[in-house]
Structure 1
C-alpha cells in the first residue's frame, strides 16, 4: 500500500481501488485506523487522542491533495507524496 506521508511516527497510506467513502489508512505505534478525508475523523479502528488530533488537522489541511490522490487511486494511477505535519 503506497505511503503518502510519515510524520511524528504516524504513517499515512492509501490503497488503490479502495472502498468508499474516501479515506486514509493510519498506523501509529501499533494502532491502526481508517480516517475519513472529508472530516478527518476516525471511522474504524483507534488512535491515541493526540495522534488522532494531529491526523485530523493534517487531513483537513491537505484535504484537496488527499482527494486528488483518492481519484488517482481509483484509476490505479501513481499517488503523490504529501508533506507531513512536521513539514518534512
Structure 2
C-alpha cells in the first residue's frame, strides 16, 4: 500500500484496486480512518479531532490529485506522491 503523503505524524495511503467509493486511508498512531475523497467525509474509523481536521483540509486541497490517484490505482498504475499539508 503506497504512502501518498505524510504530515504531522499522519500517513495517507492508497491501495491498488480498492473498493468503491473512492477513498484513501489515513493513519495516526493507533488510529485509522477511511476518507471519502469526493465528499470529504469519514467512511470508517476514528481520529483525534485535531488530526481529523488536518486530514479533511488536506483532502479538500488535493481532491483532484486524489481522484487521479484513485483512477490510476484502479488500473494498477503508479500512484503519485501528493504534497503534505504545511
Q: Normalized against structure 1, the TM-score is what?
A: 0.95
Gap regions ≥5 residues in structure 2: none
Q: What is the distance in 2 between the residues matched to 1:81 and 1:10?
A: 14
Match of 2:69 in 1: 69
Q: What is the distance in 1 between the residues matched to 2:11 and 2:20?
A: 20
Describe the SS at the equivalent of 2:12: strand
Q: CA RMSD in A?
A: 0.6
Gap regions ≥5 residues in structure 1: none
Q: Which runs of 4+ in 1 moved over 2 A?
A: none
Q: Normalized against structure 2, the TM-score is what?
A: 0.97
Match of 1:82 in 2: 82
